Structure formats: C-alpha cells, structure tokens
Amino acid sequence: MEFFNPYISVEIPLVELTRNLGIGVILAVALAFLVGKSTRLIVDTSQYLPLFLLLIPTMILIITTIKTSIALSLGLVGALSIVRFRTPVKEPEELAYIFIAIAIGLGLGANQLLATVIGFLVIAIIMAPLGLKRAASTRNQGAYISIRIEDASTPSMSFEMERLGQTLNEFFPKHRIKQVLNTDGMHDITIQIPVLDIVVYDRLRKALFDRYNVTEISVVDNARVIT
C-alpha cells in the first residue's frame, strides 16, 4: 500500500532526472526552432523558446515526482482543476504546439526516452516541409500594413476608399487590399505589399496622418510588428 501513501519518501534517481531534463532542454530548443520556421501565425516567434524551456522541464519534474504515488497523481488532478487561462488560446495551431511540448515532458518524465525521441523525430519530419513552404510563402507575400482610420468632423480629413487607394498608389503602386472592416465610425484596412521599404513606409505613414484621422498604423514583416 505504499504506492497509495503520499507521505512515503521515494528516492528519485538524480542521474536519470538530470539526463531527462537535459534532453528536454535540447528538444525544447529544437521544437522552438521548428515552430518558428513552420508556423503560419503572424506572431513574434521568439516567444516560443522561453515558453518551451519552461513548460517541458516543468512537466518532466512533475511527472517524475508523482509517478511514484497514485495519491500524488490524484492530488495533481485536483490542483490543476482550479487553474484557468487568463488569455484564451485562439488558434488551434498554438494549441497543437503546446500539446507537443506537454507530450515531450510527459514522455521524458515517465522515462520513455526512446519513444519520446522517436515521436519527436516523426513530428519534426512532418513539420519540415511546412517550414519550406512558409519560407517560400514569406518571400512571395512581403509585408502587411494595417491602418485604423476614424471618421473625422472636417471634410478635408474624411475617409473615402477611392481617395485612400490613390494615396497608397503614390507610395506602393503594387499594393493589394486584403481586408476592410467598417464598424461604428472606425475603418480597419489591411494592405499587402511585395517588399517593405522602411523609408517609403515612413513617408506613407506621415501622409496618412496628414490626410486622414488615423488612430493607429502598423506593419507586419517577417512575423514582427512595427508601429
């Protein structure tokens, strides 16, 4: 009945734990690299490395500790039931990355080293073509400029889509309008440009603020936001 007693001190092999933590760190770095190369999300991909470096070793430590006692396992389920995400995960792709990191931590924590490494290699082989496809897609798509314009009381700064198109043609003749949202006097326009020239962008930015009641403008280039 010792397996059911949470107060029984069970010795954890430190060499085994250290080995699993070291491999977990290596897999965390490799996973962050793969995600950064293959993700389709327009986000700062540098955020994944610290996330995986915290999540995977933490999972290894938790599983290594509780696998010796069913009582501790049940206690962990109760403790995790009160945890709530303050910021919901909106993209299924992000959820998949988190599950991969959790699976790596679970496998190494359960000391299933070979199965975990083989599983990770299979996932890496699946993600590798996505990385090549994303690289080609990034070269073709260039950058995205998002503009938020509010209705103005002065006619000279009023919003007209045709007039905005003429302004955009002055600076980026090859632009494409990807999205237009009009809600409660606010106009959100997203345009795509083939190549980002920061000097030309700065001139466009000044012209938009001079001619329209612009409240926000940003550009997304290579998954980084510049405002």
For the chain, the helix, strand and coil percentages under 3-state DSSP, each to the nearest 5: 60, 15, 25
Q: Is the pLDDT of residue 84 over 60?
A: no
Residue 224: per-residue pLDDT: 43
Distance CA 197, CA 200 (A): 5
Q: Is the pLDDT of residue 122 over 90?
A: yes
The CATH fold assigned to 142-226 is Alpha-Beta Plaits (3.30.70)
> pLDDT: is 223 or 170 the higher one?
170
**pTM over cut 0.85:** no
Which among 11, 10, 26 is positioned nearest to 108, based on CA atoms?
Answer: 26
CA distances from 41 to 87, 131, 138, 222 (A): 17, 12, 12, 11
Distance CA 136, CA 56 (A): 31
92-116: pLDDT as tens digits: 788 888 889 989 998 998 888 999 9
The percentage of residues in the chain with a pLDDT greater than 70, rounded to a whole number, is 72
* Domain spans, the chain: 2-139, 142-226
Residues 185-213, mean pLDDT to the nearest whole number: 84
Residue 193: per-residue pLDDT: 83
What does pLDDT average to over the chain?
78
Residue 43: per-residue pLDDT: 62
Residues 195-211, mean pLDDT to the nearest whole number: 84
User: What are the helix and strand counts (H, E) for the chain?
Assistant: 7, 5
Q: Is the pLDDT of residue 192 over 80?
A: yes
Residue 30, burial from CB neighbour count under 10 angstroms (0-12, 13-18, 19+) = middle
Distance CA 24, CA 103 (A): 11
15-19, 63-67, 98-102, 169-173, range with the lowest pLDDT? 63-67
Residue 88: per-residue pLDDT: 58
> pLDDT: is 41 or 97 the higher one?
97
Confidence of residue 220 (pLDDT cuts 50, 70, 90): confident
Contact by Cβ (8 Å): 19, 84:
no
